[in-house]
Amino acid sequence: MPLFGRWFEGVGADVAMAGADGQPILMSRPVADLIAYLITLQD
């Protein structure tokens, strides 16, 4: 993703989200925010 690649690279602190099996997954804040937004679209 050349256009958005820099936006998703390590901006801000890492956050932990629970994976499908409950195991925490560390990711950057923008990626976690994107996943949370996509989950709301599925509801």
Q: Given this model, what pLDDT does residue 32 score? A: 86
Structure tokens at 35: 């996943």
CA neighbor of 13 nearest in space, from 3, 27, 1, 24: 27
Task: Give CA separation, 23 vs 10, 18, 20, 26, in Å.
Answer: 21, 5, 7, 10
Residue 6 host element (H or E): helix 5-8
Structure tokens at 38: 């996509």
1-43 pLDDT, tens per residue?
A: 466 666 666 555 688 888 889 898 888 888 888 888 999 998 7
Q: Given this model, what pLDDT does residue 37 score? A: 92
**Residue 21 domain boundaries:** 5-42
Structure tokens at 24: 């925490």
Q: Given this model, what pLDDT does residue 38 score? A: 92
Q: What's the total number of domains in the chain?
A: 1
